[in-house]
Structures are given as structure tokens and as C-alpha cells.
Structure 1
Amino acid sequence: MKPSMQIGNIATVEFVVSEKMQPRFDGIIIHPVCSTWDLAHQFEITSRKALVPHLEDGEEGIGTHLSIDHLAPALLGQKVKITSTVIKIDESTVICSIQGKCGDSIVATGEQIQRVFPIEVVERIIANANN
């Protein structure tokens, strides 16, 4: 990773909750809110944005952990801001603390861990996934 990867680096993503983000099981919409799995997807996107600018050529990140506590609903049409903050770094690991907010209300918190490897190692991990 480049020296620019520092504890305290922040990345943000904003989105408006749309109908396609509602929790749906067997084709039935359960609630008119943002689903937990959509929040988790946005957590992943935001944490990746915190990592990618700091990768060296030939490096790639792999997500190895994601936790999310869905604390409050984000309603259809509401804007959600996800903020991912780098809280720990070592030679090959980046840990981000993540928070999702609608205005001043916290809707979700969590953590994401990414491991950074040379691209060849990532390709080998993928190639050996079914062996």
C-alpha cells in the first residue's frame, strides 16, 4: 500500500433509498425501507473507496469480514450517507469503521476488513477456490 494509506482516512457514499432497495422475500416486499443487505452493499462500496486510491500498482484488496448493526429504518426517498473511516492498518490488512446516517440519525454501524495482496496471489486464491 502507498504511504497515503493512513488511519483516519475517510470515504463517503450517498444514495437515496429507492424501491429496488426494499427487503423482498419470494417476490414480496416486506417493508418500505432500505434493506439490511442493501446497506451492507453500500458499506462494502464505501470501504473499497477508502482502500483503492492507496493501492500500489499490482495490488488488490479482498474483503474478509463485514459486520453491520441495522439500528433504524431509512425510508423510501430518504438520503443516506455512508462514511467509512480507516481505523487500523498493518502490512496487509485495512480495517474500517462504518456508519450510515439519515440526516443526524444513525441508521447502521459496522466494520469491514480488507486484506491486500499482490494481484497474482488474489488470482491464485480464486483459481484454488474449488479445490
Structure 2
Amino acid sequence: MAAEIARRRADLNHDVVTLTGSQRLHRRSPCGGCPWRTDQNGSFPAEAFRLSAPTAYDMADRAFGCHEASHDHPLTCAGFLLRGADHNFAIRLAAARGDIDLGAVHDGGHNLHDSYRAMSVANGVDPDDPALRPCRP
């Protein structure tokens, strides 16, 4: 089961949730306010994307949590699974073990950012920000 390992404040209205765990409960499609959806640009502060950037680093051991999931039942974000988890070690390991079915995740007909870097820049993070340097293009 996914477990919340960090919750950090991005601004007065937004927290950043980081998940870890061997079995991952996850969204099957991006939720209404998913930051991976291009129609949600500007819904979250740039600081939220800086704080979450390590989930998109090569061989990351943490996952991008769904912001609409409850505190008691954290979920891995579907947008992240579709566009930001290719190089995430924890997700790749969970998929290889059969703990997560990446084939069951879909975009729900929404346009998604191509990468974590693209999503962050579209939401106000400077492309040269040190937090984005380790992210894959």
C-alpha cells in the first residue's frame, strides 16, 4: 500500500504529498484538477512543482501523490504514471512485480503535459531552476 512520507506546504492553499510503498493504489485516469492536465495550468503555485520534482528524477524512489486523494488513503497520480514515471524506480519495480498495472491507466481524453519538466515550466518554474536539472526532458 502507498504511504505518505512527506507533506510540505507550497503556499497557503496547497500542500505537496510524496508517497512511497511497495504496493501502489493509484488513479486510473487524471482527476478533475490534475496538474498534469494542460487545462489546469496555473492552478498550483510554481513552488509545488519545485517540491515535487524529485519524483521525476532518474531512479526516484518516491511517487507523485494525487492531490484529491484523502490523507487516510493516498493514491499515486494517474497523470504522473502516464507522463512522469518512466524513469521512476519505485514505479518500475511495482509494475514489474505486478503491484501496479500501468496498462490500466489512461488519460481520460485529456491533454497532458509531455514531461514533468514541461508541466513545471508551464506552471511558472524557470527552465533553469536547479530543481528541474535532474528531471528527464
TM-score of Structure 1 vs Structure 2, range by shorter chain: under 0.3
Larger Rg computed on CA atoms: 1
Q: Which has the higher strand share?
A: 1
Q: Which has the higher helix share?
A: 2
